[in-house]
Amino acid sequence: MNSRRNFLQKITASALAWPLLSSATQASSINAYNRTYQSQPLRVAIMGLGSYGTRVAEAMQTCKMAKLTGVISGTPSKIKDWQSKYNIPEKNCYNYENFDRIKDNPDIDAVYIITPNALHHPQTLRVAKAGKHVICEKPMAINAKEGKEMVDACKNAKVHLLIGYRMHFEPKTLEIVRMRKAGEMGKILFFEGLSGFKIGDPNQWRLNPKLSGGGAMMDIGIYSINGARYMIGEDPIWVTAQETKNNREKFKDGIDETIQFQLGFPSGAVASCLSTYSMNNLDSFFLNGDNGYAKLQPATGYGPIQGRTHKGELTQPHVTHQTLQMDEMAAIILQGKKPEVPVNGEEGVKDMQIIDAIFQAVKTGKKVDLKV
């Protein structure tokens, strides 16, 4: 298995699709997908034409409010392939040296950055300077300092900065958030997040600390960090963490193999999470309150997500995550829509602050206080 992308695809490939409900309530949860959009769509250039960039491009073919209109890549052959496949004109194609020219291209409103983590910061600053909206894949940067600089740059340029949190639009996930907000689980006490897979190719960029900024925590552990926050509905105030490294040849300095971490929240709720590059079949969330619970497994794969609560199975319909994400993000940018769970740059910075604190806790062996 070569990457998190493959893991997320395979872990849900064998999942049985759950019954689709046709009620108005279910339909409204994917309203952006179903509605016919009459105005000019959000015109998007994808930067980074790898496996996930390809997945996003394919998903955008059925979007109602977002349209793929440009590409940015360092590989000329990929650009040619995408031009042919997605009917992208030559004038909307750029490489990493000249993409600042998008400033003068009215066919591009936003750029979705899907490149190695360490490139997100400089590329976001350049896109913002060009006056285009930024959608940045997670993690948004390699530390909170860079993330804050990205937020500031986009604010100064008066453009949106959105982070690729596709689970923030996923119907079953949002149903659990709704139940928690409505008090249907009572006081929230505990969250468990398990995020991991066995990573393959030892030469890939994810195992290069200069490009990734870290190992499993940056790549897959961030799902449990982010999930703990939107499931509990609070930001943590402390963290403790322990690292296990069994393969130091593959997981060199700066690349975490396995980290167990614990989060404490203002209400007294706690979270226990695991992030790993050395174990398969880890993709689950569990939320426990004094009056009920919710369980997702798979929790963050490409779908269909499966889950249940104390009230029974979750049966919200599955829609391709990236299709829903891009339509909803278009609505945020074009219409000022407020998502149930935020996806702005500030949310990305909070996750980076927590990751910074986890690494500090691993290094020091001490509890680290947080203020995010």
Last residue of a domain, one of 113, 142, 165: 165
Q: β-pairing, 188-196 with 270-276?
A: parallel
Whether residues 100 and 231 share a domain: the answer is no
Residue of 137, 175, 165, 168 whose CA lies nearest to 306: 175
Q: Which of 33, 52, 112, 223 is catalytic?
A: 223
35 has a pLDDT exceeding 70: no
CATH number at residue 303: 3.30.360.10
Last residue of a domain, one of 165, 185, 210: 165
In a domain, 351, yes or no: yes
Q: Half-sphere exposure of 233 toward its Cβ, with a 13 Å CA cutoff?
A: 20
What are phi and psi for residue 10, nearest 5 degrees? Answer: -75, -30
Whether residues 75 and 87 share a domain: the answer is yes
Q: Which of 64, 138, 172, 350 is catalytic?
A: 138
Whether residues 248 and 351 share a domain: the answer is yes
In a domain, 21, yes or no: no
> Measured between alpha carbons, how far is 343 from 98 in angstroms, rounded to an integer?
28
**Residues in CB range of 97: below 8 A, 6 or more apart:** none
Lowest mean pLDDT among 13-27, 90-104, 132-146: 13-27
Please tell me the total count of domains within the chain. Answer: 2
Whether residues 184 and 309 share a domain: the answer is yes
Whether residues 194 and 73 share a domain: the answer is no
pLDDT at 37: 52
- Considering the entire predicted model, what is its pTM? 0.91
Whether residues 69 and 200 share a domain: the answer is no
In a domain, 19, yes or no: no
In a domain, 47, yes or no: yes
Whether residues 241 and 183 share a domain: the answer is yes
Cα 47 off chain centre by: 16
In a domain, 328, yes or no: no
Whether residues 79 and 188 share a domain: the answer is no
Is 223 catalytic? The answer is yes
Last residue of a domain, one of 120, 142, 165: 165
**Is the bond into 19 cis (omega within 30 degrees of 0)?**
no
Is residue 207 classed exposed, middle or buried when 0-12, 13-18 and 19+ CB atoms within 10 A define those classes?
A: buried
Is residue 151 classed exposed, middle or buried when 0-12, 13-18 and 19+ CB atoms within 10 A define those classes?
A: buried
pLDDT at 6: 53
Catalogue the long-range contacts made by 91-98 (C-beta closer than 8 Å, 24 or more residues apart).
Answer: 92/45, 94/45, 94/70, 96/72
The tens digit of pLDDT for each residue in 45-102 reads 999 999 999 999 999 999 999 999 999 999 999 999 999 999 999 999 999 999 999 9
Whether residues 36 and 161 share a domain: the answer is yes
> Measured between alpha carbons, how far is 161 from 178 in angstroms, rounded to an integer?
25
Q: β-pairing, 110-113 with 42-47?
A: parallel
In a domain, 213, yes or no: yes
Residue of 204, 71, 202, 212 whose CA lies nearest to 138: 212
Is 138 catalytic? The answer is yes
CB 71 within 8 A of CB 92: yes
Whether residues 123 and 112 share a domain: the answer is yes
In a domain, 14, yes or no: no
What are phi and psi for residue 244, nearest 5 degrees? Answer: -120, 130
Enclosing domain of residue 358: 167-318+345-369
In a domain, 323, yes or no: no
What are phi and psi for residue 283, nearest 5 degrees? Answer: -155, 75
Whether residues 40 and 179 share a domain: the answer is no
**Token pair of 105, please?**
């291209």
> Measured between alpha carbons, how far is 23 from 28 in angstroms, rounded to an integer?
9
Whether residues 106 and 147 share a domain: the answer is yes
**Token pair of 313, please?**
């199975």
Query: Once rounded to an integer, what is the mean pLDDT over residues 27-37?
Result: 45
Whose structure tokens read 């105030």?
237
CATH number at residue 55: 3.40.50.720
The tens digit of pLDDT for each residue in 281-333 reads 999 999 999 999 999 999 999 989 999 999 999 999 999 999 999 999 999 99
